[in-house]
A and B are shown apart, each in its own frame.
Chain A
Amino acid sequence: MPFDTNHPLLNVILQWALILCVISVIGTFVGGVSSLMGGGKRGLSEFFGVIGRALSDLILVSPQRIFALATLTTRESVRRKALWIGAVFLVLFMFAGWFIGDSDDTTPAKAYISFVITTIRWMLLPLAVLLSCWGLPADIKDRSLHTVVTKPVRRSEVVLGRIAGYSFVITAILLVVSVVGYGWILRVVPERSQRQLISRVPRFGGMKMLDQNGDLFTGVNVGDMLDLRRFIAGGTKELAMWQFQGLKESDFPNDQDLRLEYAFEAFRSYKGDIATQIEFSIDLVNPETNQRVRLGVQPVNEFSSEIAHDLKENQTENLILIPRTISYLDGETTKTADLFKDLVANGNLNVEIKCLDAGQYLGVSPGDLFVRMPDRSFAVGYWKTIFTTWLMLVLIITIGTTASCILKGPVATLTTFGLLILGVFLKNGLIMRLGKYYSDGGEVVGGGSVEAFYRLVTGLNESTPLDESITKTVIETLDSGVYAMLYLAQYVIPDISIFDASTYLANGFDVPLASCVLPSLLITLGFFIPAYIIGYFGLQIRELEAK
């Protein structure tokens, strides 16, 4: 559930444009040279004629004709009973309540939200693939496309009309099931979990840990298998510090409190007083003047967030409310400090956490403390999630339609499903392995695929180094070529996991623009443009007479 993006968006767009330009230039060059070699000057002239026509076909499209083709596509889809998928949804929603939740009425909203979004995604996804991959081949088979292309219609308009038509059908279904899903969530989520239907807006800060001497350290591992959090010792000078940036007074109108939300973990090295929770102190520190205000002591409330507010009176989750004017003790005297004038310096604020119980430990990770900006309604997060789902479906339709312009129905379906599976399940693994390969300087235990095959055939185990010979050089060169191909391939496979905003929504967070909505939009657009061009050329060279 990332909230920040590793790549500046402008750089990403420029990189994409550069790659598109390079491919276009290479394609034009190769096409031009082969035309020249095949047909001489005439061939070259014909090649540039095709390019010229393509440019005009791709750019000078008629919205009316696209609309007409989209309408035709929609009617076809309705005729093929695509809307029946709605009935499947109805059945699922009718009986889902049986399978989610228990006799208790404290089932978290998370389960219901995940169910709705997952169902929408995985029911519409195959529909989008099948509709887009089988539409054109079916038209070619029925010869209806033959009738279409005899009319004054550009092939680019056929591609666009198809994409628009299928997108319209999917959008209509998505809208209906989303509205039903939204109503269903509001109705079935138990009353006590309704407050979890919220879109929190977090602002995270960088975290560092300081040891007893004030030096940076990585914290203690208490033997937890899940090494998500590192621990600081209680009753010592060890602390965890969060550095928040960009805090503006205008973000908290009407003297709203600044809210800090936390989710720490406690580790007891001895039992101690079991009736009293491990506690931590929280200090606000001005990063420039070092003015320090102790906010007091808080119980760790480990793993309480989902239930605490139901169990304890006046417990508003794990929130620390910081008023604009803070009263605090400085030695014996009570002083006051203004949050934004005295503590926030140019939008920066440091927050220090220390565990107070000697011999006990407090586990922290960077995401465990954040400034909770004013909340948004659940509907905002929900519809953003639906929007990213819609973008994913449009992307699939685009890829499917393009594939169907070149390939027959079954092959197009397999291609699109293959890309999808790669995008959903394998892309992250591929990126991770490639990253490791290049960070290790091309060293990998057992080698790449060619080396692995060689070792298999010769019975050589993976830890024995290959003899220095020409064979080794050839193998490593081939393997580096395979890795280079995979390196390029990772950019051709769309990262479908980015479109999944359900994790944010189910955990009560707003869907962030920078790390989810915008990347989803850019991926869809990024694939749409080359897919449109490829689809156009595919349809140009395709034999439209049914065989």
Chain B
Amino acid sequence: MNNLTSGQRKLVYGLGILALMVVVILLGKPSEGTPGTGGVVSDLREKYSLGEATLGQVDPASSTMNLVLLGFRGIAASILWSEAEHHRVTKNWSKLQQTAESIILLQPHFKKVWEYQAWNLGFNVSAECDAVEDRYFWVKQGAKYLQRGTERNTQFPELFFECGRFFGQKIGSADEKEQYRKFFVADPDTSRWQGKGDGEVNPENKDNYLVAQDWYTKANAVVEGTDIEQHKMDLPLFMSYPYHSLMDYARAREEDGYFDDNAKGAWANALREWTTVYGRKVFAAAGNGIMFTLEGSREDLEKLSKEDGQPLADKLHWQSRYHGTTNYLYWKLRCDIEQKQEMIDARRLFYEGKKAFKEEGDLEQAGKLLETGTQLLQNVIDTAGREGNGNSILLYNDEGITEEAIKSLLILERVRDGLPKDNFPLKELWVDPTFAGKRAELREKFIRWAGEN
């Protein structure tokens, strides 16, 4: 090289640069969207879903920030995390929100950022406010944050699932659920949403459980038919959430005092979806890959066995195991029972009895309504059947009905100055030690609710 003249050296450098450019261009040629049309790098990126665009929507601000920071992104993100924590401790909520926004600019594809900061806003910050409207505002902020997380990361089923939890469990099961559910379809920010729900979280102005169902369904769609895995729970449980949301919706409608044909229709819909969609999904047992369906009959499983060559006995065994894990048969029975007119009447009578006791102060009327209601529920329980040990299938599998029934008994006890000593409907709930804890908890709540403390 030393023998070369300056001009020759420049020529060699130029040729070297040109050769490297050709290689780089060939390797990095962008794909046209179909496999094999791009360079090696873009094909590999496509294959392993590593491209920014394949992970979700590309945010130019985020990409710019990451480029500008060069290698200091990690340091900047760490500082922002500390700042966010400082703002949380010092109760500087607007700054906390701004910092959370900055963090996602730097770490848009870090799942925990979205989950943690959404939780921070929706649960921790909202709990700090005293007015329910303000709490709801922060719950929405958390939910919106997560929603944006799903847009940026279309391949994280957990984020879609968490959205479902926000709209289902947070809105529907919080202490403020009565207010939250109303706000969800009639936002307190009336000047902006004109008496409807917040269009950013509820564009179709639906019930919160139906919105939750949409999000759980999206979460299922991410894992179904793809190689993407979720890391929350066993898959059959994970995939049951959209269908549970339908049951939650039907139950919540009744709690809101709607006992018309729509209530029956909501349970019928939940049963149909539970048995014909969820029950027909083919799952693989954890650890051994034995394929089965939860609703499948022996014949169905035999057919499946012939197709995949796995022993029928194994399929039956794992189907039974997963019936237990998902409580499949109970929920099937529950959806069926809840559609019966006797059950709907029992729930209506409980609702009206409670109202007569609390709002109207008509104790006599409350007593009559609740006595009839408990008798109707007892009939339903007897019809539903009992397990081998004599326990009621309906009462010993889920707290929903149990709580409702004990609450009614507590009111009855109050309005009748005690319950009969010999026999009365739902007596097993009153005497069985299994329910002692639940009875004590509900009695404490009842005392506060009835305004005796």
List the interface of chain A (C-beta within 8 A of B): 95, 98-104, 107-108, 110-111, 192, 225-226, 228, 266, 268, 271, 274-275, 277-278, 299-304, 306-308, 310-313
Asked whether, in the complex, the Cβ of A311 is within 8 Å of the Cβ of B60, the reply is no
Pair B130/A275 contact, Cβ less than 8 Å: no
For B134, list chain A residues within 8 Å (CB): 301-304, 307-308, 311
From B61, B91, B131, B141, A226 is in contact (CB under 8 Å) with: B91
Q: Is the CB of B129 within 8 A of A303?
A: yes
**Total A-B residue contacts, Cβ distance less than 8 Å:** 84
CB contacts (< 8 Å) of B175 on chain A: these are 271, 274
A310 to B198, CA, bound (A): 13
Chain A residues with Cβ below 8 Å from B64 are: 95, 98
Least Cβ–Cβ distance between B227 and chain A, in angstroms: 31
Task: Flag if A225 contacts B89 (CB, 8 Å).
Answer: yes
Number of interface residues of B (CB under 8 A): 36
Q: Please measure, in the bound complex, the distance between the C-alpha atom of A107 and the C-alpha atom of B95, giving whole angstroms.
A: 10
Question: Judging by beta carbons under 8 Å apart, are B130 and A310 in contact?
Answer: no
CB-CB under 8 A from A301, the residues of chain B are 130-131, 134
* Closest Cβ–Cβ distance, residue B445 to chain A (whole Å): 10
Q: Does B101 contact A (CB under 8 A)?
A: yes
Residues of A within 8 A of B95 (CB): 110
CA distance A300 to B130 in the complex (A): 8
With A99-B65, A301-B130 as known contacts, state yes or no: A226 contacts B101, CB within 8 Å: no
Q: Is B435 in contact with chain A by the CB < 8 A criterion?
A: no
Select the residue from A228, A268, A312 with max chain B CB neighbours within 10 A.
Answer: A312
**Looking at the complex, which of B108-116, B189-197, B294-302, B347-355 is the stretch in contact with chain A?**
B189-197
Inter-chain CA distance A98–B58, complex, in Å, is 13
Whether B94 is near chain A, meaning CB under 8 Å from some CB there, is yes
- Measured CB to CB, the residues of B under 8 A from A are 60-61, 64-65, 89-91, 93-95, 97-98, 101-102, 105, 128-134, 137, 141, 144, 148, 175-176, 178-179, 188-192, 200
Cα–Cα distance between A49 and B98 once the two chains are bound (Å): 63
Contacts of B133 on A, CB cut-off 8 Å? 311-312
Q: How far is the CB of A475 from chain B (nearest CB, A)?
A: 37
Which residues from chain A contact B178 at a C-beta distance below 8 Å? 275
Q: Chain A's nearest CB lies how many Å from the CB of B118?
A: 13
Given contacts A274-B179, A313-B191, 10 further A-B contacts (CB under 8 A): A99-B102, A99-B105, A107-B98, A111-B98, A226-B90, A266-B130, A274-B132, A275-B178, A303-B129, A306-B94
Residues on A with C-beta less than 8 A from B189 are 310-311
- Quick one: given A98-B60, A102-B101, A310-B192, are A275 and B132 in contact (CB under 8 Å)? yes
Q: Which residue of B lies closest to A313 (CB)?
A: B190
- Report how far A108 CA is from B98 CA in the complex, Å: 10
Across-interface contacts of B131 in A (CB, < 8 A) = 277, 299, 301-302, 304, 308
B130: A residues at CB distance < 8 A = 266, 268, 277-278, 299-302
Nearest residue in B to A100 (C-beta to C-beta)?
B98
B293 to chain A, nearest CB (A): 41
CB proximity of A96 to chain B, nearest CB, Å: 10
In the complex, how many angstroms separate the beta carbon of B122 from the nearest chain A beta carbon?
14
Least CB distance, B358 to chain A, in whole angstroms:
13
Given A301-B130, A307-B134, CB of A99 within 8 Å of CB of B94 = no
**16 A-B pairs in the complex with CB atoms less than 8 angstroms apart:** A95-B64, A98-B60, A99-B105, A100-B98, A102-B144, A107-B98, A110-B94, A111-B94, A226-B89, A226-B90, A278-B130, A300-B130, A303-B91, A306-B94, A308-B134, A311-B189
CB distance from B141 to the nearest CB of A (A): 8
With a cutoff of 8 Å between Cβ atoms, the chain B residues found around residue A304 in the complex are 129, 131, 134
Please name all residues of chain A whose beta carbon is closer than 8 Å to the beta carbon of B148 when the two chains form the complex. Answer: 102-103
- Measured between beta carbons, the chain A residues less than 8 angstroms from B101 are 101-102
Tell me which of A99, A100, A192, A302 contacts B129 (CB under 8 A): A302
A152 to nearest B CB, angstroms? 52
CB pair A108–B200 under 8 Å, yes or no, is: no
10 tightest Cβ-Cβ pairs between the two chains A and B: A98-B61, A302-B130, A266-B130, A108-B94, A277-B130, A311-B133, A303-B129, A277-B131, A311-B188, A311-B189
> Which residues of B sit under 8 angstroms from A271, Cβ to Cβ?
175
Q: Note all chain A residues with C-beta closer than 8 A to B60.
A: 98
| Cβ-defined contact, B191 with A310, below 8 A | yes
**A226: B residues at CB distance < 8 A:** 89-91
Closest to A278 in B: B130
Q: How far is the CA of A483 from the CA of B178 in the complex (A)?
A: 63
Residues of chain A within 8 A (CB-CB) of B190 are 313
How far, in whole Å, are A459 and B191 apart by their CA atoms in the complex? 70
From the candidates B94, B191, B192, B200, name the one contacting A103 in the complex (CB within 8 A): B200
- How far is the CB of B59 from the nearest CB of chain A, in Å? 9
Contact A307 B98 (CB under 8 A): no
Q: How far is the CA of A79 from the CA of B188 in the complex (A)?
A: 59
CB distance from B128 to the nearest CB of A (A): 6
Which of the listed residues B97, B101, B130 has the most CB atoms from chain A within 10 Å of its own CB? B130
A302 touches B94 (CB 8 A): no
Residues of B within 8 A of A308 (CB): 131, 134
- The answer on a CB contact under 8 Å between B137 and A311 is yes
Known contacts A99-B61, A104-B144, A303-B128; A312/B188 CB under 8 A: yes
Whole-angstrom distance from the CB of A320 to the nearest CB of chain B?
Answer: 17
In the complex, what residues of B have CB within 8 A of residue A302's CB?
Answer: 128-131, 134
How far does the Cβ of A204 sit from chain B's closest Cβ, in whole Å?
A: 20
Chain B residues contacting A274 (CB-CB under 8 Å) are 132, 175-176, 179
A299 to B131, CA, bound (A): 9
With A and B bound together, what is the CA distance between A266 and B128 in angstroms? Answer: 9
Q: A residues within 8 A CB of B141?
A: 104
Chain A min CB distance to B226 (Å): 28
In whole angstroms, how far apart are the Cα atoms of A108 and B191 in the complex? 18
Q: Which residues of B contact A300 (CB under 8 A)?
A: 130
Q: How far, in whole Å, are A312 and B134 apart by their CA atoms in the complex? A: 10
- With A102-B101, A225-B89 given, is the CB distance from A307 to B137 under 8 Å? yes
Name A108's closest neighbour in chain B (CB-CB).
B94
Kindly list chain B residues whose C-beta atoms are within 8 Å of the C-beta of A299: 130-131
The docked-state distance in angstroms from the alpha carbon of A123 to that of B191 is 40
A268 to B90 CA separation, bound complex (whole angstroms):
19
**Closest approach, in angstroms, between the C-beta of B107 and any C-beta of chain A?**
15
CA distance A140 to B130 in the complex (A): 67
Roughly how many angstroms separate A271 CA and B97 CA in the complex, as a whole number?
A: 26
List chain B residues, Cβ under 8 A from A307.
134, 137
B152 to A: closest C-beta gap in Å: 12
CA distance A197 to B242 in the complex (A): 45
Residue of A at shortest CB range from B90? A226
Q: A301 — nearest CB in chain B belongs to which residue?
A: B131
Give the Cβ gap from B50 to chain A, nearest Cβ, in Å: 25
- Residue on B nearest A306 in the bound complex, by CB: B94
Q: How far is the CA of A95 from the CA of B105 in the complex (A)?
A: 14
A226 to chain B, nearest CB (A): 5
Chain B neighbourhood of A313, CB < 8 A: 190-191
Residues in A with CB closer than 8 Å to B61 are 95, 98-99
Q: B93 — which chain A residues lie within 8 A by C-beta?
A: 303, 306
A101 nearest CB neighbor, chain B only: B101
CB A51 to nearest CB in B, in angstroms, measures 53
Instruction: Name the B residues within 8 Å of A266 (CB-CB).
Output: 130
Q: Which partner residue on chain B sits nearest A111 by CB separation? A: B98
Q: Pick from B91, B128, B200: contact of A104, CB below 8 A.
A: B200
Residues of A within 8 A of B89 (CB): 225-226
CA distance in complex: A360, B133 (Å): 20
Report the bound CA distance from A291 to B350 in whole Å.
54
- Nearest residue (CB) in B for A99 is B61
| A302 to B130 Cα, complex, angstroms | 6
